[in-house]
Structure 1
Amino acid sequence: MAIPQIDAELCVLSRFDVSTCSACVEACPSKALTTGEDGLELDAAACSGCGGCGAACPSGAVTLDGAECPEPLSRPGAEGWLACSRHAQGKGGDALCLQALGLAALTRLWLQGLRRITCLTGDCAACPDGAGLSVHRHVAALNALLASRKLPGLLLERAGEPPRRTTRIGPGTATDAGRRRLFGLSALPMGAASAPPLARLQSLSCGPDTLYVNVPLIDPGRCTGCDACISLCPTASLSRVKSGDGEMQYVVDPATCNDCGLCCDLCGENAIRLGHLSAAPQPVALVGFRCRGCGVNVHVPALGPYAAHGICPVCDRTGHHKRLFQVLE
């Protein structure tokens, strides 16, 4: 049985004190993972090695001997099958729990050419590892992304026997560049082939109605232009750039957002939230000025409350810009 290994350099909960990420904890059906003062804590005796934590981790910080990145065990075709360890034909080193099929794992399998996955499992509802099983929700989300890009979907079904002449799916390793070329993934945009699976898929766009699984949304009415979310976003999904006419703006790249939630945790103004399965937002126009209270150069959303008054958010909050008068009698 594989025991989760946690890379603190990748885990946003370990890297940032402000982070409230608990994706792996919430995904664990056996409650073997908890959060404490020192970050994640694992009760190895309670862990079943199902792979749910690795599938849920937004940053790839949790690994389980390849269970978190299942792949075809031979040259992939359009169909594949897997079997869990509690199924008669699933015993052995190639067993794979459905908990390991997170959205990133399913996307990876789709990118490798699979269009139908047959599952040989026991009764998941009666299985301790089947609690809160979300694979069907992940399949639905993946198919929504694919449909908005006019790409064929993925079918997940159950059966008692593996289909003939299909590849078995089991725990794998990260796919290297050579295998990506072998499987035809080099047709993706330059740089996309080395990106995480969801980013690879979401780099393909079919216009303004294209859907993205995680979409950071900035509220101009609350944003103070502090740039904290941009500075610390682990995937550079948020940026401040100049438009074609030289104006500053906040731009969101939802293709790379991994749903870690750090931007929301950082923002003290609650000016950012994460949307799901929605289109990319329009850039947020910014205006720069010299604060007439403290003299600092700032930039804020053009449609926000600070731009019209020429007062930076700090002076607006503290009242430093107000002149003091003493009345003498």
Structure 2
Amino acid sequence: MNHDPHRPAANSASLSGEDAYRRLHALGLVGLRRNMCIAASRPAGMCERCKIACPHACLTIGESGPTLEPTACSACGMCAAACPTGALSVDGVTLPTHVPAQGLVLACERSRAATDAPVLRLACLGALAVNDWLRLTIAAGDAPIRVADDGACAGCSNAPSHEAPWRSTLEIARRALSEAGMLPNRLPVAMTPDALPNSNRSNTAIAELPIEGRRRFFAGLSRSLASAISQAATGERVSSSAAGAQARRHASVAAHRGAETRVLLQHIASSSGQPHPRSALLPALMASDACRAHGACSRACPTGALHLETGHDDGQARLQFDAWLCVDCGACARICPSYALDHQPRAWRPFADVPVVLATIRQSECERCGALFDAHEDEALCERCRKTENLARAGFALFSRQHRDTPAVPEGP
């Protein structure tokens, strides 16, 4: 694997502290943007996608986030592909900014497939996330994107189950592109060596393809995700509603990957003559009438996908959910004190461009503390103040009973 010359250095002047890309270990090729990592900013165990995806068990999750054992790491990049926010990346995993008219063949370093088409070789094709396939397809235009499927994964240590680790991701990308209106002949496709263009020639030369690092291709991603993707991939601006959702995530992990997917699919749909994709792979969240606007769910959400809006002139609170920022952790449903939330994992659902309102709750001002709360009937106190008052009453009643039941001390000898 070659070092990516366009990757910002750890001491770059443009990035510092939690925003900077830093290698997990000086001898390894895996790097992290800590401000985008759920495991580095939330309770241990909330996210272990990278650890689970690693075929060599060289990643561990501690209180400060992932750590790497470099001697076991093969730099396959599957940890980065599995990261729900895009916090992890691997040096050497790069994408082209331009695809020649004859198309592009993707192959792993173990593959011996021969072709006259330009070839992009990676340590493992499992390093490509869905967004990588979407970007490649946009960069290719009408040129074909092919994958050399020669069975090399069956004997590779990066595929302990002997299944190609890239296949399921490619199928998701193909389905997403189809839902966005892309024609079947433009979809990336896996092909056997015999089916590759001119692969029957034994002395064919593999063309050199100019490659540019993905971080330079999407320059400014850490500063302004929406505008960077719009300018680099689409030339358009995202809707004000999407920008508003970005602005509301003050203390949340930056979920760049989900927001990026939405913009890329919208661009592909627009190029295909559709107003938006028909469906997308999204989680779902539903709220029952038991929701009382505690706000515990939105505080637990690591990416700001769940947001409680209060202070409206109509005296109502609105619980909003942006499925594109959701990373399927389920923390909101587990922590809800009213058991009002039902989280459902990712499935193909109708495309959602803006956050949806899960619940609208009428609020009143607590007479004791002034906090806004969901008032049922004639309640004058919020739940916290009611509990405090009930506890005080119970304590006073217990004290009174003990005092009443204590026999009087007789006077005199």
* TM superposition score category, shorter chain reference: 0.7 to 0.9
Aligned to 1:185: 234
Tell which deviates more after alignment, 205-214 or 141-150. 205-214
Moved more, 29-38 or 177-186: 177-186
Deviations 1:74-94 (A, max 9, x none): 43559421111112359x994
* Count of aligned pairs between the two proteins: 320
| AA partner of residue 279 (structure 2) | L
Q: CA offsets, 1:202-258, max 9 Å, x none?
A: 557878994343335143356452334435655433333479994431122223434
The whole-number CA distance in structure 2 between the counterparts of 1:146 and 1:93 is: 21
Q: Residue 218 of structure 2: which of 150, 154, 176 is its match? A: 176
User: 1:42, CA displacement in angstroms?
Assistant: 1.5
Cα separation, partners in 2 of 1:167 and 1:39, compared to 1, 3 Å = same
Deviations along 1:160-182, whole A, 9 cap, x unmatched?
16536999697832323699789
When residues 18 and 308 of structure 1 are mapped into structure 2, their CA distance, relative to the original with a 3 A threshold, is farther
Partner residue, 2:110:
86
**Kept after mapping to 1: 8 A contact 2:179/2:277:** yes
Matched with 2:46 is 20
Whether the 8 Å contact between 1:290 and 1:296 is mirrored in structure 2 is yes
Q: 1:98, 1:135 within 8 Å by CA — same for their partners in 2? A: yes
1:230 counterpart = 2:298? yes
Distance 2:393 2:171 in 1: 59
In structure 2, the residue matched to 1:129 is 158
User: Any conservation in 1 of the 2:319–2:357 contact (CA below 8 Å)?
Assistant: no
Evaluate the alpha carbon distance shift between residue 218 and residue 322 of structure 1 in structure 2; reply closer, same or farther with a 3 A threshold: farther
- Counterparts in 2 of 1:181 and 1:268: CA distance versus 1, 3 Å: closer
Give the Cα–Cα distance (whole angstroms) in 1 for the partners of residues 78 and 149 of structure 2.
18
Equivalence for 2:411:
none
Q: Distance in 2 between matches of 1:121 and 1:21?
A: 34
Match of 2:360 in 1: 285
State which drifts further: 203-212 or 244-253: 203-212
What letter corresponds to residue 51 of structure 1 in structure 2? G
Tell me which amino acid in the other structure corresponds to 1:176: F
2:139 alignment partner in structure 1: 112
Larger radius of gyration: 2
Query: Of 156, 170, 178, which aligns to 1:139?
Result: 170
Query: Residues 105, 15 of structure 1: CA spacing in aligned structure 2 closer, same or farther, 3 A cutoff?
Result: same
The 1:94–1:148 alpha-carbon spacing in structure 2 relative to 1, beyond 3 Å, is closer
Partner of 2:191: 158
TM-score normalised per structure 1: 0.74
Code of the aligned partner of 1:185: T
Say which is worse superposed, 5-14 or 244-253, in terms of deviation: 244-253
Gaps of 5+ in 1: 301-305
Name the residue aligned to 1:250.
319
CA distance in 2, matches of 1:223, 1:78: 56
1-structure distance, mates of 2:377, 2:277: 33
Per the alignment, do residues 180 and 17 of structure 1 end up closer, same or farther by CA in structure 2, a change over 3 Å counting?
closer
Q: Is the 8 A contact 1:23 1:53 kept in 2?
A: yes
**Matched residue type, 2:263:** R
Question: Which has the higher mean CA deviation after the structures are superposed, 149-158 or 203-212?
Answer: 203-212
AA matched with 2:192: A
Residue type of the alignment partner of 1:298: L
* Equivalent pair of 2:148/2:190 in contact (CA under 8 Å): yes
1:101 to 128, 139, 142: 128
Partner SS for 1:47: coil
Question: What SS does the corresponding residue of 2:122 show, helix, strand or coil?
Answer: coil
**Corresponding residue of 1:44:** 70
SS of residue paired to 1:130: coil
C-alpha contact 1:94 1:171 (8 A) present in aligned 2? no
CA contact (8 A) 1:145 1:210 kept: no
